[in-house]
Each structure stands twice: as structure tokens, then as C-alpha cells.
Structure 1
Amino acid sequence: MSPHHVVNRTLLALCGAVLLAGGLLGVSSWSVVAERLPSWWPSAQPGSVLLDRAGLGELRHEGWWTPVVIAGAATVLLASLLVLWSQAAAGRAGPALLTLARPDVTIRTRALADALTRDVCALPSVADGRVRVRGGPEELRARIRLRLEPGAEPRAVLRQLSEETLAEARASVAPRRVRAEVRVSVRSHRARRAL
């Protein structure tokens, strides 16, 4: 199991435990439920609050209260931002290893991108190309940048890219879907100056 899956499940379990405890405390204030609870069970009185103004005022006069609240809020904020950033990075980077159509065969996403780059650069009328592969376990996104030779026919290059290179990639990583985004530019007619 990948580390971000572990983090996801841990956070989900913690949120579930907090919500369950809050729900049980809220339900315990109902008179029908409160009568059947054991004496040691913490129950709230109907119409009461967890911390009243007098109790909160006493805590504010304590020297440790304000720094603890600020540190706790800052820790929760930083942890939330870190989890959000790691989730976004994991979604962009995609899985490190992809299982291919043949059993027990895997390939790194970087190796797949390099192979696609070589195939793209080998297409006729393509001067240069670059491929990046990202995505998740169900769908991969291939960002392809093509620089065509002057006078090249973009339609023919794109047809060959779709029917040959991308078709082979889709067959290799099936049952994942491969969505391709292609950006095309043309190499300048100007010849390089000799030094």
C-alpha cells in the first residue's frame, strides 16, 4: 500500500472517531437515551454546552491556554496543508509503477514517458518531441509536445500519432485509459548561424 493511501485511511479513521464521539455525546443528551446509559457515561444535559462562558473565561486567564490553542490551530493547519499538497503531488505524479497487460510485468511511468518520447520523435516530419505521463490507477494523461519540421502536414502527423504510437501505449497499459493532450508547434525556417 502506498504511503498516501496510509495517510488517507489514517485521517479518515481519525475524523470518523471524532465524529462518532461527538455524535454519541450529542445523543446522550436525549432523555430517552440518558436514562439507559451507565452512571459512568459522560452525558450532556439537555440545552447545555460543552464549555460555558464562565469556564472559557477561567481558561483564558491561565497562562498556558492561549499558546496551546494557537499551537494546536497552527499544527492542524500545517498538517492539513501538508496532506493537501501531498495528495496533489501524488495525483500529478501518478503511480510510480504501472502494471501492464501481461501478468507480472510492470513499468515505471518515467520509462513509459521516455519510450513514448522516442516513438514520437521517430514520426516523420517531427523535429522534436517530449512526453509526460501522469495520472492515477484508472486513467493516465499523456502530455505530448511536438515540434514539426517546416512544411509538415499536422493532420497526417496527428493521425499517425493517434493510430500507431498512442494505440500501442493504450494496449500496453490496458485496462487503464490513456487520455492525450497534444501541443504542436513548427520549427522556424531560419537556418542557424555558423560561428
Structure 2
Amino acid sequence: MLRTVNRVLLGLVGLVLVVLGGAVLAVGLGLEPPSWWLHQGPDDVLLSAAERSRWRDEGWWWPVVIAALAVAVLLALWWLTAVLRRRRLGEVLVDTGDGEGALLRGRAMEGALAAEAADLDGVGRAQVHLTGRRATPAARVRLHLEPHVDPAAALQHLTTRAIAHARDSAGLAKLPTEVRLRGVRHRPERVS
């Protein structure tokens, strides 16, 4: 849901910037603008001489404006690359022994590993994300543990059962895994 909202907002901001830039370009090329438009013709400027020289005596004004715009551009580029970058592994290369190999969808392996991890005793919920390359994947696992579970035992069961099973099923030599454990929120128990 958040990813969809993020992409819709990014698309809307991009659309507004393209429309405004295109309108200014069209007016600059000689198209007649509507009367309410802030730019009235090809000889009109966006900032008049009075607006540009208003802060001329202040030596800090233009460096601050340029620095703020540079930071805004850098943040926008960082946001764009963060949205467009694929964080999840799309597919995993499974060695079939015939030299060809097969491709396993990354989401399928994530789902199977998460389902098996969630079936462990005392695990309330499990989330799995595959990263890395398709021949050498790595996993990030987040376990939400019930209050009565020993974290060391849950981690031991995860590594010896779920991760080992996923590694062996995909025919991988190793499956490096980062595990984060969290306790499930619960109401405090009364002690009398």
C-alpha cells in the first residue's frame, strides 16, 4: 500500500512539473497564454528586475536559495532512486544438475520460507525478503515472537529447519541470513 502511494505521489509531482515546464516553454516559443497565467509572453521574465534585486544588499540570500534548491534536487534524486531501485530479488537460480538450471520466483521462495518460519512454535508472524544476486541470494528474516518463547530456541529452530530447508530445496551452497527478532505486543499480566 505504501509503495503504491509513494509511486502515485511521485507520478503526480512529476506530472505537475512537466505540465508547468511545458507551459512555460510553450509561452516562450510564442503560444498565447491565458490572462491568469503568470508568464505573459516570450519577452516576459519569471522574475522581474525588482524581484531579483530585492535582496541584493543581503549577501546571504542567493547562496541560501541556491543551497536550498541544491538540497531539494539531491533529495528528489535520492527519493527517485530509492523508489525505482529493486530491493527484492526477482528470481533465484536453482541448480538442477543438468547444467541448465531453473529459475525460482523470489516471491515464491520468500513466501515458502515465511510460512515455514511462522509455523515454528511461538512465532506470531514472520517476514522474509530476499536480496543479493540470483545465483547467491541472501535473506532478511523478521520474526515476531510470542512472550513465552526463548529467542535462542526460536533462532535455533529457524536456522536448522526453515532456512536449511529453503537452502536445500533451492540447491544453494549457502543462504546467508540476517534475522531480527521482535516481541509481539501483549497486555501485561496481573500478578497477585
What TM-score results when the alignment is normalised by the length of structure 2? 0.48
Bigger radius of gyration? 1
- Of Structure 1 and Structure 2, the greater helix share is in 1
TM-score, with structure 1 as normaliser: 0.48
